[in-house]
Amino acid sequence: MSEATIQDSRVIRERRTDRACAQLLGLIAGITADGHLHDLEIQFLRTWLSQKQSDGERHWLQAKVASHIDHILADGVITDAERADLMAVLQSAGGTDFAETGCVTADPLAFPADDCEVVIAGNTFCLTGKFQFGSRGDCEAATAAAGGVCVGNVTRTTRYLVIGSAGATKSWKHEAYGRKIDAAMKLKENGAAIQILREEAWVSALDLNS
């Protein structure tokens, strides 16, 4: 396969990821606009998510939202508490707070960060977003000084994806920032050992090596 063909395939995959995410966010915005979730809206969203999965065009947010809805619908009854919880989940999946503030929250749906031991020496890191720690060059230099290696893209050999906690913009879901998270989530689903870290976990690991 030629380099040009590989590049074209990558661009196509990125466009599909962007489109899948944008469609879900638009649907969530419409469904949650009135502040209430009707049963038919919930059922429609689940049917739509199932279709996207069947078409092979999906974003990691779609899988997370579908899993949550499946849990709620398992007994065939949607309680008021479940309805309120789903509303919070959908708003979180939409990333409203993150997009407005640029701060990474602790919500496991909006940002699927792993709670794990972080070993820098001998491992490969991919950085995404902007960091409180400093410039991208500063972050890469600090990782290298602690014995790690930084790469530009998420692959099966990447051990950690680190999400910066500063200065992200509203475009994070649609551009390289969101693509790297999506790539990492799909690799995890396929058994890869990659872990997704908040900047704070990475900094703590650096401190242990200082």
Q: Which domains does the chain have, with CATH numbers?
A: 3-94 (no CATH), 124-209 (3.40.50.10190)
Q: What is the pTM of this model?
A: 0.62
| Residues 6+ away with beta carbon under 8 Å from 52 | 20, 23, 58, 62
Distance CA 182, CA 60 (A): 6
Distance CA 69, CA 116 (A): 27
What is the residue-level pLDDT of the chain in tens, covering all 210 positions? 566 676 667 667 667 766 777 778 888 888 888 888 999 999 999 998 888 776 666 677 788 888 889 999 999 899 999 999 998 888 776 654 433 433 333 343 445 678 889 999 999 999 988 888 999 999 999 999 999 999 999 999 999 999 887 754 444 454 455 678 888 888 888 889 999 998 899 999 998 766
* Residues 126 and 180 sit within 8 Å (Cβ to Cβ): yes
Enter the DSSP assignment of 121: T
